[in-house]
Amino acid sequence: MILWNYVDTKIAEFAPALRGMAEMDWEYYLESTARTSFPTKDAALVKQVLRETTTQAEHLSLARALRSASAAKGLLQNLKVPTLVLASRTGDRAGPTEEAGRSVAAMIPNARLQLLDGADGGWDCRDGGPPPAVVAIEQFLDSLALGKDDALRAPSQADGGLSHREAEVLGLIATGMSNQQIADDLVISVNTVAKHVANILNKTGTANRTEAASFARQHEAKGSKPVN
């Protein structure tokens, strides 16, 4: 499952105002949504796409259904599917998307959180490469393939005397993640990740991240948790 800039009803204090706008003036609501949610795109084109993909009645019906819905009611804690939560960093987009992303990722077991930069929410191409959101999704899917094929597993505590958290961090190092990406994935601070990395290098006798990643592959442990 992949969630992009999910905002729970409890957090979306602005939702009633938006619903009121959609009820009173549908065309103005579409234009406002196009300009605020997709600030780097052609507003007229976005408005046209929105108009052609949903009707006012459909939108208001969905809004009513979501009015009393909340992810905090226990459903997410029981999810078993691998989940990627994509969220825009605070200040980049309207709405508390980073706060909401961290909140929902914390509720889903083993969910991966990826914060995205820019007002476009990670969907604009940069430096001629693919959009950051697409890269994050591809990396997530690749990690699922690795886990399914048992190609890469986090080492157990017995492998180098690593703690469970250190084993998780090492597994993510092996996938090529940076400290910031690992921090976002595990919902911990970058400083904490750095401490884990230092402990991992010390315990495994490796000199750098490349050697640590090689250690992870060489010490694949039966019964340990796959890197997701």
CATH number for 162 = 1.10.10.10
Distance CA 180, CA 136 (A): 13
Look at the chain and report how many structural domains it folds into: 2
**19 within some domain:** yes
Q: 120 φ, ψ to 5°? A: -80, -5
Mean pLDDT computed over every residue of the chain: 78
User: Scanning the structure block, which residue is given the tokens 């250190």?
Assistant: 166
Distance CA 21, CA 87 (A): 25
Sequence letter at residue 97: T
**168 within some domain:** yes
Which positions of the chain have pLDDT values less than 50?
Answer: 11, 148-158, 221-228
Distance CA 121, CA 129 (A): 16
What's the pLDDT score for residue 220? 59
What's the pLDDT score for residue 158? 43
What's the pLDDT score for residue 15? 63
**174 within some domain:** yes
Distance CA 14, CA 173 (A): 39
Domain end residue (candidates: 45, 70, 95): 70
Distance CA 139, CA 185 (A): 12
**190 within some domain:** yes
What's the pLDDT score for residue 119? 74
What's the pLDDT score for residue 48? 92
What's the pLDDT score for residue 76? 78
**Global pTM value:** 0.51
Task: For the chain, give the secondary structure using H, E and C.
Answer: CEEECCCCCCCCCCHHHHHHHHHHCHHHHHHHHHHHHCCCCCHHHHHHHHHHHCCHHHHHHHHHHHHCCCHHHCCHHHCCCCCEEEEECCCCCCCCHHHHHHHHHHHCCCCEEEEECCCCCCCCCCCCCCCHHHHHHHHHHHHHHHHHCCCCECCCCCCCCCCHHHHHHHHHHHCCCCHHHHHHHHCCCHHHHHHHHHHHHHHHCCCCHHHHHHHHHHCCCCCCCECC
**112 within some domain:** no
**226 within some domain:** no
What's the pLDDT score for residue 228? 36
**Helix or strand or coil: residue 25?**
coil
Q: What distances in angstroms separate CA 136 from CA 13, 85, 88, 141, one per listed residue?
A: 29, 10, 13, 9
**22 within some domain:** yes
Q: Which domain holds residue 36?
A: 10-70
**114 within some domain:** no
**Helix or strand or coil: residue 194?**
helix
Domain end residue (candidates: 34, 55, 70): 70
Instruction: Express each pLDDT in 102-160 by its tens digit.
Output: 888 888 888 888 888 887 788 877 666 788 888 888 888 877 765 544 433 444 444 55
User: Scanning the structure block, which residue is given the tokens 């492998």?
Assistant: 159
Domain end residue (candidates: 20, 48, 70): 70
What's the pLDDT score for residue 185? 84
Distance, C-alpha 172 to centroid of its chain? 15
